[in-house]
């Protein structure tokens, strides 16, 4: 089977490898579409993410759609949950499997991800999807799940004012989701003109260049989705006293700085969002079924598996919105 494997910074190679043999509890999934996430780009561009570093070649990809070849879902399209928490640690038992310190995650560390023709994966981590969903839409369920989890951390209220600082795919999904949960004014901030245009199309009432962000925005909830100190600073400046600021973006280094005095005087609650919980997939599917969000519309670039290196270069250049590799 064909596999795209990351060997080092900027070094994606497509090769033939043996098809995996499922372990106990696993089934084979024929992959159909895999999105390239910002965290994949950290591995590609920097050779790691946070305090995790590439130590051996790995197959990237965790925004995964496929068709089950074995087991109870054989022949059915499925979304593949990339996270395999241990289910026995304190966070898992407390209902927070996304915070599991022992989690195995597709395309992270030594666990191969979805950029292969066939993946062996635990059957319990497969989510069957309704008829009519395209493979690209199914692959978008994972980033949409990240957006839903971030919104949960924001404690949304009817008619609240919302800021989204960073309008990549997850930021654009948060704009759509804010509308779906009854937000009032939605403000977006983004340095790239084509993403500002996408933010307006997604439903933002006001779209700003970061240079134009100020304290007069007075926002109840702000999502930082850029992974930069500048976006964190702007989120804190734009938040109203008593607001919640949710940090979703992943920085290039393992440090984030912000104006602590401003945050303290405003009495802000700052929450950090990590991935999503496994209960989110059914909610994401239901919101898509109700046409509350447009998942496929965010995909601007599609590549076949044999052009995975081109796909990563395109995604790293930030010239579009979401890049998907179709298999």
pLDDT score for 200:
97
Percent residues over pLDDT 70 in the chain: 100
d(CA 280, CA 278): 5
Cβ atoms within 10 Å of 79's Cβ, excluding its own: 25
DSSP string for residues in 141-197? HHHHHHHHHHHHHH---TT--EEEE--SHHHHHHHHHHHHTT-S-EEEE-SSHHHHH
- Using the predicted structure, report yes or no on whether residue 121 has a pLDDT greater than 90: yes
| Beta carbons of 190 and 171 less than 8 angstroms apart | yes
pLDDT score for 104:
96
Cβ atoms within 10 Å of 167's Cβ, excluding its own: 28
pLDDT score for 215:
82
- Using the predicted structure, report yes or no on whether residue 132 has a pLDDT greater than 80: yes
- Shortest CA distance to 191 belongs to which of 203, 199, 183? 199
Helix H or strand E encompassing 239 = strand 239-247
pLDDT score for 100:
97
């Amino acid at each position: 089977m064909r596999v795209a494997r990351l060997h080092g910074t900027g070094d994606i190679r497509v090769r033939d490898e043996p098809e995996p043999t499922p372990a106990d509890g696993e089934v084979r999934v024929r992959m159909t579409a895999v999105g390239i996430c910002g965290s994949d780009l950290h591995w590609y561009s920097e050779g790691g993410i946070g305090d995790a570093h590439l130590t051996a070649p790995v197959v990237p990809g965790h925004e995964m759609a496929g068709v089950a070849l074995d087991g109870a879902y054989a022949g059915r399209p499925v979304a593949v949950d990339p996270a395999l928490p241990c289910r026995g640690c304190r966070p898992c038992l407390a209902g927070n499997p996304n915070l599991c310190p022992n989690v195995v995650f597709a395309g992270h560390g030594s666990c191969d991800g979805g950029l292969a023709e066939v993946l062996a994966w635990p059957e319990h981590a497969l989510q069957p999807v309704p008829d009519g969903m395209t493979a690209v839409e199914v692959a978008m369920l994972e980033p949409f799940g990240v957006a839903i989890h971030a919104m949960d951390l924001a404690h949304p209220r009817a008619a609240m004012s919302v800021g989204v600082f960073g309008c990549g795919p997850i930021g654009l999904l948060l704009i759509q989701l804010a509308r779906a949960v009854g937000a009032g004014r939605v403000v977006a901030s983004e340095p790239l003109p084509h993403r500002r245009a996408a933010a307006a199309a997604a439903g933002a009432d006001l779209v700003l260049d970061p240079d134009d962000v100020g304290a007069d925005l007075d926002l109840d909830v702000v999502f930082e989705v850029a992974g930069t100190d500048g976006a964190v600073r702007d989120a804190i400046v734009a938040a109203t006293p008593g607001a919640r600021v949710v940090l979703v973006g992943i920085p290039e280094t393992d440090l984030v700085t912000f104006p602590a005095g401003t945050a303290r005087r405003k009495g802000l609650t700052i929450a950090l969002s990590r991935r999503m919980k496994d209960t989110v997939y059914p909610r994401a599917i239901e919101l898509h079924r109700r046409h509350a969000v447009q998942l496929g519309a965010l995909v601007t670039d599609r590549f076949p598996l044999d052009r995975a290196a081109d796909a990563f270069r395109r995604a790293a250049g930030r010239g579009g919105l979401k890049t998907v590799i179709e298999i």
